[in-house]
Amino acid sequence: MRLNIRILDKYIFREVFQSFLFAICAFSAVFIGSGTLFRIAQYITDYGASLPSIIKIFVFSLPGVVMWTFPMSMLLASLLTFGRLSSASEITAMKSCGIGFGRIAAPAILLGFLVSVGAILFNEHIVPRANTAYRNVIYYEIEGNSGMKSQEHLIIKEIEDGAIQRLVYARSYDAEQQRLTGVSLQVFGADGKVTYVENAEYAEWTGSEWIMHKGDVYEIADEHLERRMRFETQVLPIQKDPRQIISEQKKPEEMTMRELREQIALMQTQYVNTSKLETELYQRVSIPMASLIFTLIGVPLGLQPTRNSSSAGFAMSVIIIFIYYALMTMGNAFARGEVLPAMLAVWLPNIVGIIAGAVLLKRASQ
């Protein structure tokens, strides 16, 4: 009996996995056709983008597209697989052999969990790098920009032997004046703690170095302020010109979770609103986990002993996907508007999904 159960587990797991791969291809094709190809056409028309550049942006855009298809692909895979098994009376045959609902659903739920974990790792290690490469191709190869753009919230790090030596934060950079505004320099000791802080109203690039204006110097010992001095001008000890600084900056979607946490912590010390970054950070986990949640919803919807369960479940999946992404959009607005704590707002659609999945699983098991 145990051998038969293992064969059954492998059978269901394989069927769901094959449907999952099909769903990823189908949804990715929809996203690429409605978004990526349209942007590629614009780059060809507006900038005369070359074939190698077009191939690059197409390849680099794929990880971000595929990332969004994981949850809906698991939902569709669960519905298609269990809908087919139900319409072919295979579910009824399994139950007649004494196999319970939990045993039947287990392989799909296991796959949903594995996809969620894999999606978190994929979203952490692959997607940010692909987004950075995509931006560089657009900015440097296609648009052909050689000048620097003005930006907000810049972070400059100087690392030696794997340890951070200096960390500079600037609220904004004015490309026309080559000026950093709201500058804060932190110097770290051998123990990794801040020993020295400089704050300045602004810093200007002279062509060879950065000069800070109108600031304060703080010396710190044992996490307590020891001495404070004012200055009118002071050299900012970083060996990077404006081009190097701007090229190193990353957008939130190009950062890893560790980089996001570090930037949030730094910006909070400067009393800057970090709701956008916090939203991005929590979504790195909440969106991949939707794959498991959608599996919990899809399995009981597919496990219906009727001939029309597959078509009805597919129609329901469209509604579920729409509701989920509508809730996600609303949660993002709540998080960035500080209506709700960022973590709660971002996890709102998953909380609703867990409740819906629990209700459906309970009904299916009865």
Domains of the chain as residue ranges with CATH: 7-143+277-365 (no CATH), 151-249 (2.60.450)
The stretches of 32-50 forming alpha helices (DSSP H) are 37-47
Least confident among 101-110, 146-155, 336-345: 146-155
pTM: 0.85
**Distances from the Cα of 243 to the Cαs of 76, 150, 239, in angstroms?**
47, 11, 12
Question: How far apart are alpha carbons 68 and 61 in whole angstroms?
Answer: 12
Question: Dihedral, CA atoms, 215, 217, 222, 223, nearest 10 degrees?
Answer: 0
User: Which pLDDT score, from 0 to 100, does residue 223 have?
Assistant: 64
User: Which pLDDT score, from 0 to 100, does residue 311 have?
Assistant: 58
Residue 40 predicted with pLDDT over 80: yes
Residue 253 predicted with pLDDT over 80: yes
User: Which pLDDT score, from 0 to 100, does residue 7 have?
Assistant: 82
Residue 307 predicted with pLDDT over 50: no
| Per-residue pLDDT reduced to its tens digit, 126-176 | 999 999 999 989 888 887 765 567 888 999 988 877 778 889 999 999 988
User: Which pLDDT score, from 0 to 100, does residue 160 have?
Assistant: 78
Residue 243 predicted with pLDDT over 80: yes
Confidence of residue 3 (pLDDT cuts 50, 70, 90): very low
The pLDDT of 268-275, averaged and rounded, is: 86
Residue 1 predicted with pLDDT over 60: no
User: Which pLDDT score, from 0 to 100, does residue 360 have?
Assistant: 86
Question: How far apart are alpha carbons 39 and 49 in whole angstroms?
Answer: 11
